[in-house]
Amino acid sequence: MVIVMSTSATEAEIQGVVSKIEECRFQVHRSTGVTRTVLGAIGKTDDFDLRRIEILPGVESVTRIGEPFKLASRSFHKDDTVIELGGVRIGGDSIVVMAGPCAVESRDQIRQIAAIVAEAGARVLRGGAFKPRSSPYSFQGLGLEGLKYLREAGDAEGLLVVTEVMEASQIEPILEYADILQVGARNMQNFSLLRRLGEVRKPILLKRGISATIEEWLMSAEYIMAGGNYQVILCERGIRTFERLTRNTLDISAIPVVKKLSHLPIIVDPSHAVGIRDKVIPVARAAVAVGSDGLLVEVHTDPEKALSDGPQSLYPEGFRLLMDSVRRIAPVVGKRLT
């Protein structure tokens, strides 16, 4: 923590701040310049509310030293975390493609889509059984039945399976059927849920909240990791801005930023970011070119009739075209499809 005193701070004010800092068990370093004094406070600040110092008389500004997260930080763990799961590698120089419908709608639907995405090169099947819908009057998912169909379809095609968990009571059944548990954007700061997922021993796919800073997102990863579950996969899916012509604004530079700050794998969900089919492929290509570790894409054989998010789902031929692009762009960034 670095405390900058204002130019008009009195010696008594400076002493007041020094005492307060020492009282909070920091070691103080004082630099007295011509026009002002700067205090360095060395110690554990992760959990310290900087505003406690900010409001003392004579203080101009207070700045935290170091990131508030530890286990998620690259300074804690230098090398890329690579999650290995049934022959699929997530992170490092691999690109993983997770694909499937927004929601599991029927046994046939998910079987059919699974076959298509597997054939085109996806390694993980996505599909929602419990759906967070912004309207209480919308289709809320097939629940347990959906989980079974999803697992069955994944097994039939040799695909891993990822699905969303919305609340604690769903963890157990989902653990039984899925390989990766997804935390949706709206639950990124559902700390109760994160805490419980820290006790799980399967990978967690953690979507970025719609207005979360990268730092907050990594703090949510920290929540899971602090419980002992180090297998966290980050997923950028667009943030909210003033622009209205896309559903969200994909923060493409978040990928290199996260790569520098953290060792965790990071993938991109272009479908939710843009919200409309004809922008999905260009943006997915950009995600590969920027160096992300994979894609999470919505694919549907009959998007017109999809019960959820049909308009942003790719048709099978669109998905094949995308996979072809992925294969061609990956080597430019030193990566290859897992």
Instruction: Please list every residue from 20 through 39 that binds a copy of itself, using CB under 8 A.
Output: 27, 29, 31, 33-36, 38
Q: Report the SS3 class of residue 42.
A: strand
**Binding of a copy of itself by 250 (CB under 8 A):** yes
> What is d(CA 143, CA 68) in angstroms, rounded to the nearest whole number?
37
Residue written as token pair 């894409």: 297
> What is d(CA 243, CA 263) in angstroms, rounded to the nearest whole number?
31
User: Sign of the C-alpha dihedral, residues 80, 85, 86, 89?
Assistant: negative
> Which one of 309, 318, 335, 338 is in contact with a copy of itself (CB under 8 A)?
309
> Angle at the Cα of 165 (from 161 to 167), degrees rounded to 5?
160
> What is d(CA 115, CA 117) in angstroms, rounded to the nearest whole number?
6
Measured in whole angstroms, the distance separating CA 39 from the mean position of its chain's CA atoms is 36
> Which one of 57, 86, 228, 282 is in contact with a copy of itself (CB under 8 A)?
282
Structural contact between residues 7 and 17, judged by C-beta atoms closer than 8 angstroms: no
Smallest distance, Å, CB 321 to a copy of itself?
A: 11
Smallest distance, Å, CB 41 to a copy of itself?
A: 9
The per-residue b/e assignment along 40-56, b for 16 or more CB within 10 angstroms, e otherwise, is ebeeebeebeeeebeeb
**Region near a copy of itself per CB under 8 A, out of 79-87, 116-124, 146-154, 239-247:** 239-247
**Binding of a copy of itself by 291 (CB under 8 A):** yes
> Which one of 16, 132, 143, 173 is in contact with a copy of itself (CB under 8 A)?
132
> Which one of 155, 276, 317, 336 is in contact with a copy of itself (CB under 8 A)?
276
Structure-block tokens of residue 213:
């800073």
Give residues 88-127 in contact with a copy of itself (rule: CB under 8 A): none
Q: Report the SS3 class of residue 47.
A: coil
Smallest distance, Å, CB 294 to a copy of itself?
A: 15
Smallest distance, Å, CB 278 to a copy of itself?
A: 7
> Which one of 10, 11, 65, 155 is in contact with a copy of itself (CB under 8 A)?
65
Smallest distance, Å, CB 285 to a copy of itself?
A: 4
Residues in the interface with a copy of itself (CB under 8 A) total 107
> What is d(CA 221, CA 180) in angstroms, rounded to the nearest whole number?
15
**Binding of a copy of itself by 51 (CB under 8 A):** yes
> What is d(CA 223, CA 335) in angstroms, rounded to the nearest whole number?
30
Of the pair 126, 277, the CB lying nearest a copy of itself is at 277
**Binding of a copy of itself by 174 (CB under 8 A):** no
Look up residue 141 and give its amino acid: G
The 180-219 site mask, x for binding a copy of itself (CB under 8 A), equals ------xx-xxxxxxx--------------xx-xxxx--x
**Binding of a copy of itself by 68 (CB under 8 A):** yes
**Binding of a copy of itself by 11 (CB under 8 A):** no
